[in-house]
Chains A and B, each alone.
Chain A
Amino acid sequence: MSRFGRARLPRGEGPWPWLAAGSVALSLLMFSGLLLLLAVRGLGHFWPAPLSLVALEDGRLLAGQVVREERLPGGAGRERLYLTANRDLDGAIWSWVAVDEIAEESHPRDLVVLERTRWGSFHGRLLALEDAAGRVEGEAAWQALQERLGELEALRRERAHLRDRVVVPLVRRLERGADAALAAELGAANARIRQLQARMGGTRLLLESVDGRRLEQPLEQVLRAWRPNAMSAPRKLAAWGHGVWRFLSEGPRAANTAGGVWPAIFGTVLMVLLMSVVVTPFGVLAGIYLNEVAHQGRFTRLVRIAVRNLAGVPSIVYGVFGLGVFVYGIGGTLDEWFFADQLPSPTFGTGGLLWASLTLALLTLPVVIVATEEGLARVPDHQREGALALGATRVEMLTRVVLPMTAPAMLTGVILAVARAAGEVAPLMLVGVAKLAPQVPVDGEFPFLHLEQKFMHLGYHIYDVAFHGGDVEAALPLVYATALLLVLVILVLNLTAIFLRHHLRARHGTVPRR
């Protein structure tokens, strides 16, 4: 910040102040535009949009949510894209409709949207709900459906809990050595799960699409049901919040095209934290050595230049290095020494959380070194001499005076490293990210943090959803939402570090200008 800065733009100094201010304004505008786009497209996805019943002039009927409208080529009117769902009935979930051909568009309150585990969503009407006890129809069927969905949700939660907390750890323990007691325990848990599944089944919904085709839908495949046209604004808001929460807290479904991103959030944060834990001491020590200990000769200068250049090496190169050295080299050796009984299936000899963190630590090391060095260079020599003149040794001078003053700069380095690491995708593809790893690498099983496991990452999730899903149009809202989330995660990580830095500054003060 210039000490000659002014509150207002100066007049009579030519175009330069305006140019400078203009470039700042443009950057801000582009950045807020980016965030706005991500927020609107991403968060809008969770809003229960109204469901239109469209009657066409040729007599066809369809129920869909308006996605967008486009001008037909050659000025021949406009065309509207509807999300009509019902992949099992129509084979597609999108319909382009010429606006001129629409005879009538209405919003009947009895139209339902069902979110299902198979075939995507359903748009249409609920005719009846059947189970062993009998059949209810009409409005009573809707009430019964709401109740059943609540019960189903509780059963699902219980099943997931059993699977994650009981069955999976048991299986893992059994893999290490068979044990009759454990096997019996596992059998009991599996029986309990089967029992839960039996309670889930047995109920069927009778559905009808707006053009009259009927469908029997097992209830256990239905996740949520709502009538968007009958919902009040507060209820829509509640449904939106619920949707956002599910997106944040649940694992992905249907090959990542639906469901939430919780494992990816967890994986990203955990990997970045591990990386910071590794890179901070290394970078700080290297910076201290270069600036305080090493003889300031030609070789040190050369090392310094090399470190700065390392920051410019493309990240995929680090990925290749990580794959060759960490995964195959060190990981392979570890497997031979400690996990020989499990070979040929690798334990550490394949990509995993540890190798990804180490690779990213290497990638961000130059950032931390450079920031530390700059921080050290900013500590005035008279502070060092003051400490020495009081009888401090060099180590005491460094730890008691210089390093506390440098801590904010080091944290700035870590902030930059976190920002860079959290957004990297390319090297991760080589050293440990997974398309689907619903189990987060932290659990109640010893050693609690499973460094060898593969993990999900928000950045890779974006790439996967956008380019490897079948339907890009359907995936786009999730891509936007995930991208927004990635930005927010980095923001939160950075804010934590900034808060820490501020706290340190408040304690030690800033280096005064002289």
Chain B
Amino acid sequence: MSVFPSPRPAAGGPIIDFDPAACCLEIEGLSLAYGETPALRDLSLRVPRHRVTAFIGPSGCGKSTLLRALNRLHDLNDEVRLAGSIRLEGQDIHAPEVEVAELRRRVGMVFQAPNPFPMSIYDNVAFGLRLQGGMRKRQMDDIVEWALQSAALWDEVKERLGSSAWTLSGGQQQRLVIARTLAVRPEVLLLDEPASALDPISTLKIEELIRNLKSQLTLVLVTHNMQQAARVSDYTAFLQEGELVEYGATDTLFTNPRLSRTENYITGRMA
């Protein structure tokens, strides 16, 4: 059913040998350190296009660090040192001709805590569009509506687009943030534990949204919650202490992990 070959480990590491043409992101030999403290060690991974890839692992394993490397959010931190390469659709994101703002438009990100800006709901969604500029009001209205519908929020807020985004509930805020990110039409959506601050109902809505969105873009999800990874992702990578331990199709990884370290983690027998 899948257009992708069944993942199998490549020689020398748990990289999955996807056809490069089907890959959205290619990470090769990525190492990252905060000052003297290493956070990622020689990590290689390919993320398939229009699929949901989940990063799981214990706290401090580097999965959020890896996610933030994908849209160069680490650039802000002078202490971060980085080696290796990340390619988005074949292009190195650290190449000098890549504009970081443009990259971040292509690789959107949703954070753990909902972070709507202190503006109206409409202005939040239109924020990224206004940064690009040169858009008519009418056109912007259409995109805002489309983004809110894509994030399954339109019916709840269409009557009060002008009210402050902070009047929404936590789950609505998170969907608003997703809508805001979708509005700039990213190719990749990074989700950093997007449901960890939400109640179970809101979490289910977000998960449903993630499943629906993969027809439009590539999603990368960091989560603590293994059930969530199993429910929504197509591929799962297990990280530990900055290393990629195992990477495979979610079904395989959760039912038949290759390594005992992976098995111990997903069955809750952490050493």
Contacts and interface: CB of A to CB of B under 8 A. Distances in A.
Contact of A383 (B115, B164, B181): B115
B177 interface: yes
Interface stretch (A138-146, A166-174, A390-398): A390-398
A391 B117 contact: no
A388 interface: yes
Nearest to B79: A296
B102 interface: yes
Interface string A388-428: 11111100100011001100000000000000000000000
Nearest to B71: A389
Interface of A is mostly: helix
A389 B181 contact: yes
Interface in A175-205: none
Given A390-B128, A390-B184, A392-B131, A385 B115 contact: yes
B131 A404 contact: no
Interface string A472-514: 0000000000000000000000000000000000001111101
Interface string A84-103: 00000000000000000000
A17 interface: no
B113 interface: yes
A512 B76 CA distance: 24
A71 interface: no
Interface stretch (B4-12, B47-55, B104-112, B134-142): B104-112
Nearest to A509: B118
Contacts of A404: 118
A465 to B, nearest CB: 49
B254 interface: no
A509 B131 CA distance: 22
A49 interface: no
B111 A390 contact: no
Contacts of B108: 389-390
Contact of B128 (A383, A391, A509): A391
A514 B173 CA distance: 14
A391 B133 CA distance: 12
Contacts of B117: 383, 386-387, 401
A382 interface: yes
Contacts of A512: 166
A380 interface: yes
Interface of B: 71, 73, 76, 78, 101-102, 104-105, 108-109, 111-113, 115-119, 127-128, 131-132, 164, 166, 177, 180-181, 184
30 contacts: A380-B115, A382-B111, A383-B115, A386-B115, A386-B177, A387-B117, A388-B104, A389-B73, A389-B104, A390-B104, A390-B105, A390-B127, A390-B128, A390-B131, A390-B180, A390-B184, A391-B104, A391-B128, A391-B131, A391-B132, A392-B101, A392-B127, A392-B131, A393-B101, A396-B131, A401-B117, A404-B118, A508-B118, A510-B118, A514-B113
Closest CB pairs A-B (n = 3): A391-B105, A389-B109, A390-B128
Interface of A: 295, 380, 382-383, 385-393, 396, 400-401, 404-405, 508-512, 514
